[in-house]
Amino acid sequence: MPLSAQEEPKGAPAPSEIVAAAPAADWVAIAAEDLLVMTLAPDAEGKPRQVVIQLMPAPFSQGWVHNIRLFARSGWYDGISVNRVQDNYVTQWGDPNYDNPEATGTPKPLPEGLKVMGEDEYAAQISASVSPYLWFRDHRVAFDGFGKSESVQLRPVPRRANFFDPYSPIVTFSSGFPIGTAFSPNRPPELGWPVHCYGMVGVGRNYSPDTGSGAELYTVIGHAPRHLDRNIALVGRVIEGMQHLSSLPRGSGALGFYTAEEAAKRTPILSVRVASDLAPSEQPAFEYLSTESDVFATYADAVANRRDPFFITPAGGADICNIRVPVRRAE
């Protein structure tokens, strides 16, 4: 917790310095079709509040992602609100009159054309679009693709840190997102699933067999609730404006819902747009550091072994949710 910008002692590069030095070719543009721009009502000082969400890439959660674009394009999200803020858990938005113990009106009709997904769609067959570096519980391997009979070709690489995970046999990254998997040598490709890190966006649902439509969304505002992995669909993550959702007043009702008396605390959502539907001059442009790049593996190792000046004892390991995929505005 250094308190000022005093001159720093010299040391190994910090993870942020490794990212800053990454070659331009290792940054991947995010398609405008995969960006949602959510505009909240201005804050108490009248300042605008905008949140940008990157939607989950294939092969994960594509049915829900379809629905979310449909909700956005039909204008269904316009006029909904943030109805639930539970400390160290989630901020959730949707129709304040839908299945809410504090509802005072009638629910908004859903648009036509929504898909209904099965629980098996919380995971998907992972493909070659995963990081070439997989972090097993006790070592790191390089993924060399699929061989005969679709067996998995892995090659050990020097172990530089522990990436033990209590929730998944293996953790890795796919197209910029953290995933868990049971991927193993000499076996066909296995299922993978996105994991509940800070800022990830998921789909509220009711009890099984309901899987949610995408009308109710939430983002994680506390320690990763990884017990929700494979139990709820994850559809993306907040890449800008997270503070507008994480710093909202907590609700005092059950599960952090705002009570009827607190209805004025519900933050109005003015609009949600797919970025590709905006005028070109209004489209935000973002890129992420390729999780398939060598520089990303170097970055992950540095996160796990902090040797920059503030640190006196490197951890020798890192939690998948602390290996945050670098995302930045594209020029």
Which one among 67, 92, 175, 267 touches its own copies, defined by CB under 8 A? 92
Q: Binders of its own copies: how many residues, by CB under 8 A?
A: 75
Q: Does 165 bind its own copies (CB under 8 A)?
A: yes
Q: Is 32 or 110 the residue whose CB approaches its own copies more closely? A: 110
Q: Does 178 bind its own copies (CB under 8 A)?
A: no
Q: How far is the CB of 153 from its own copies (least distance, A)?
A: 26
Q: Does 10 bind its own copies (CB under 8 A)?
A: no
- Residues 257 to 296: which contact its own copies by CB under 8 A? none
**3-state secondary structure string across 86-154:** ECCCEEEEECCCCCCCCCCCCCCCCCCCCCCCCHHHHCEECCCCECCEEEECCCEEEEEEECHHHCEEE
* Phi and psi angles of residue 25, each rounded to the nearest 5 degrees, phi first: -65, -20
Q: Is 126 or 274 the residue whose CB approaches its own copies more closely? A: 126
Q: Is 1 or 279 the residue whose CB approaches its own copies more closely? A: 1
Q: Does 162 bind its own copies (CB under 8 A)?
A: yes
Using CB under 8 A, which of the segments 23-31, 69-77, 155-163, 182-190 binds its own copies? Answer: 155-163
Q: How far is the CB of 124 from its own copies (least distance, A)?
A: 14
Residue position matching structure tokens 């400390």: 87
Name residue 133's beta-bridge partners. 142
Using CB under 8 A, which of the segments 3-11, 27-35, 108-116, 142-150 binds its own copies? Answer: 3-11
- Residues 194 to 213: which contact its own copies by CB under 8 A? 197-199, 202, 204-208, 212
**3-state secondary structure string across 16-44:** HHHHHCCCHHHEEECCHHHEEEEEECCCC
Q: Does 5 bind its own copies (CB under 8 A)?
A: yes
Contact 142, 132 (CB under 8 A): yes
Which one among 76, 93, 122, 173 touches its own copies, defined by CB under 8 A? 122
DSSP 231-296: TS-EEEEEEE-THHHHTSPPP-SGGGBPPGGGGGGSEEEEEEEEGGGS-GGG---EEEE-TTSHHH
DSSP state of 162: B
Using DSSP bridges, classify how beta strands 191-194 and 133-136 pair: parallel, antiparallel or unpaired. unpaired
Q: How far is the CB of 190 from its own copies (least distance, A)?
A: 15
Q: How far is the CB of 276 from its own copies (least distance, A)?
A: 28
Q: How far is 135 from 57, CA to CA, in rounded Å?
A: 21
Contact 178, 197 (CB under 8 A): yes
Using CB under 8 A, which of the segments 27-35, 124-132, 148-156, 158-166 binds its own copies? Answer: 158-166
- Residues 222 to 251: which contact its own copies by CB under 8 A? 222-227, 229-232, 242-243, 246-250
